[in-house]
Amino acid sequence: MKPYHFILVTFMLLASIATAQQRPQYTQYVFNNYLLNPALSGIENYADVKMGYRKQWAGITNAPKTSFITANWNLGSDYLWRNALSLPEKGDDPMSKNYMQNYTASPAHHGMGVTAVLDKTGPISRLDANVTYAYHLQLANTLNLSVGAAVGLTNIALDVNALLLENASDPALSNTIVNQVKPDLGLGLWLYGARFFAGVAAQQIIPQKLSFTNDPSYNSGKEVAHYFITAGYKLFIDDEIAAIPSVMVKSVRPTPVSVDMNLKVSFRDRLWVGGSYRRNDSYSALVGFNMSKLINLTYSYDFTTSDLNKVSNGTHEIVLGLQLNNIYEVLSTTRMW
């Protein structure tokens, strides 16, 4: 293949990527739904910080690698008591049925946060940086509805040095767009009570053209919106063990709808194990340990079930969580889920 033709084929492939799923996927999203839904900003009474790394399809050269850091907190100096942002008393079991039976909704309040996600696949890297805000409305004595928005920028870069060409100075490269910055906007709703949650969210909803060349024959790419529907419910097995089944439906046209089903089993909120199934894609095993009121650590491994399992060694994801200014000494990561 002539070098110029190779460049054109590369641009066609990049254009096809630009019209498919463009945001990274996560196995542990259910324990950090804030990554997907800005309406969770400030849902806790402490500053919730998480740092994660995901290596997808290990064994495949240039497969996706994702790093992220998120932080969100409740605005205001007052600590809320016996509500969605706190637990009953210092040292009390956060999984206690009594807490659930005496649960009261959080008073109306504001929350904000920041997210930064770096995703790299082959020669393409993407950095999404956002500031988020949410308002938590008290609908009833035991029910809250939060509305949130994420505003920021997306930087998409193409590393032309990663393209293997017969002629490194091929004139086709003169038309290459190696870096582009796009505005970003996401919206979300989150309904939550003592034992359930449900949410809807949309990411990158501002229409944007996305092209890696100035050649008009290969600039049909565009950013597409990502939509998420999530729900979960807590079931008590006994006073010390709780199970939380949940589901997420993701829609990113023109790719098929993705469905995730999850189950987490928590032991006195100190140790938990779980499993996840993504339709036509993978099974996952998850484990987490709340080391102290400050630090928690989680890990997941995906067993690929698609045709990629012939060349992939699965997917690894690890997340470190910090709970800053945790005055109630809560062990739980994201309180209930």
Residues 113-134 have pLDDT tens digits of 999 999 998 888 999 999 999 9
Q: How far apart are CA 138 and CA 127, in angstroms?
A: 35
Give Cβ neighbours of residue 168 (< 8 Å, ≥ 6 apart): none
Q: How far apart are CA 14 and CA 176, in angstroms?
A: 12
Q: Of 291, 75, 254, 41, whose CA–CA distance to 144 is shortest? A: 41
Q: What is the pTM of this model?
A: 0.84
Question: Which residue stretches of the chain have pLDDT < 50?
Answer: 1-20, 81-84, 86
Q: Of 152, 161, 232, whose CA–CA distance to 197 is shortest? A: 232
> In this predicted structure, what is the pLDDT of residue 10?
44
Q: Of 226, 264, 267, whose CA–CA distance to 119 is shortest? A: 226
> In this predicted structure, what is the pLDDT of residue 254?
82
> In this predicted structure, what is the pLDDT of residue 335?
55
> In this predicted structure, what is the pLDDT of residue 2?
44
Q: How far apart are CA 146 and CA 38, in angstroms?
A: 9
Q: Domain segments of the chain: what residues?
A: 3-324
Whether the CB-CB separation of 6 and 160 falls below 8 Å is answered with no
Q: What is the pLDDT of residues 176-200, one digit of tens each?
A: 777 889 999 999 999 998 889 999 9
Strand partners, 208: 223
Domain spanning 3-324, CATH class: mainly beta
As a 3-state breakdown, the chain gives helix, strand, coil percent values, each rounded to 5, of 15, 50, 40
Q: Copy the structure tokens of residue 156.
A: 């998409």
